[in-house]
A = this chain, B = another copy of it.
Amino acid sequence: MHLFWEHGYEATSLAMLREAMGLTPPQIYNAFTDKETLFRKALTRYHETEIGFALEALSAPVPTREAIRRLLLGAAEAYSRPGKPGGCLFVSGALAASPQAQAIADELKAYRKASEAAIAQRLAKGRAMGDLPEGPSVEGFAKYIAGVMNGMSIQARDGASAEELRIMAQTALAALPAEGQNRGASSKE
């Protein structure tokens, strides 16, 4: 998982995986069928072990803005954990891919879209509760939040520290209207 996280799907060779896992090629293929299946296993594991902060933040019984704050700060921490590759596997795994790896790229894109959809769902709940008073549509906000997280992933990969990512998260949060507060009706920037 760490290798795929660090180098992406295609750039991670079986030789690297073999050395890292201490397995011979037949052992790898007996256990994981092929490279693509192995990558999907790594994706599942990543989802289960590394980004629990997201589900926690979005399902916590707190105001919407606080939920988003936890989401962004959780990302800042998760994307810069010592001993782990920087950024998010869903982004690093295969942003650009060869035609042969299109299926993998599409699957990662689906993960990113699912993350955005989860954010949108939480925002919609907030809006229904009068918790997210103004500004763009729920989808627009969700795309912004998801986009900022993707951007944090790249910044992390470029060496940004946890503290720098936290600052970025807090700055991003300032774009969301504070609770019960009106941001001023600048309908068009």
Residues of A within 8 A of B (CB): 6-8, 10-13, 69, 91-99, 101, 109, 112-113, 135-137, 140-141, 143-144, 146-152, 154-155, 157-158, 160, 164, 167-168, 170-175, 178, 183-184, 186, 189
Number of copies: 2
Chain B nearest CB, measured from A167 CB (Å): 4
Chain B nearest CB, measured from A73 CB (Å): 9
B154-A168 in contact (CB<8A): no
With A6-B96, A96-B7, A98-B7 as given contacts, are A144 and B167 in contact (CB-CB < 8 Å)? Answer: yes
Contacts of A170 in B (CB 8 A): 136, 189
Contacts of A141 in B (CB 8 A): 171
